[in-house]
Amino acid sequence: MIKGGWRDPRKRRDRLYIISEILCIAKDGALKTQIMYKANLSFAQLNEYLSFLLEMKLLESIVVNEKTIYKTTPKGLEYLQSYKEINDLLKEGGEKGNPIPSLRTPNAFTRCLRNFP
């Protein structure tokens, strides 16, 4: 195994993780730039994810004072809840000696996930 195991900071984030991160950031509404910086995505990557999330109805765009605000939809909140449950399940498995590792979650993202029951 690579030194540092599954918590290696060089580990790439998977698509589901990035989606959940964007949905967490946009939970109360966020501008495109805020999402881009907080999720650490390039402009091109962000546009791809936003298009996908809007198409899947996990995110909605609202124009307020000529600014587009992205907000997580109820369906997006369901996704976050499911993601948290899977994350918790994997953490439990890893703690009981199961070879399934816990997912790497940054502090702000962890706080967002903790808000779910």
In the chain, domain spans: 5-114
Q: Which two tokens stand for residue 83?
A: 């993601």
Protein fold of 5-114: Arc Repressor Mutant, subunit A (1.10.10)
- CB-count burial class (<10 Å; 0-12, 13-18, 19+) for 38: middle
Closest-CA residue to 63 (of 31, 95, 40, 98) = 31
> What percentage of the chain exceeds 70 in pLDDT?
70
pLDDT digits (tens, 9 = 90+) for 60-111: 999 999 999 999 999 999 999 999 888 888 877 655 444 434 445 455 666 6
Higher pLDDT, 16 or 100: 16
Closest-CA residue to 65 (of 89, 38, 101, 29) = 29
Note the pTM of the prediction, 2 decimals.
0.75
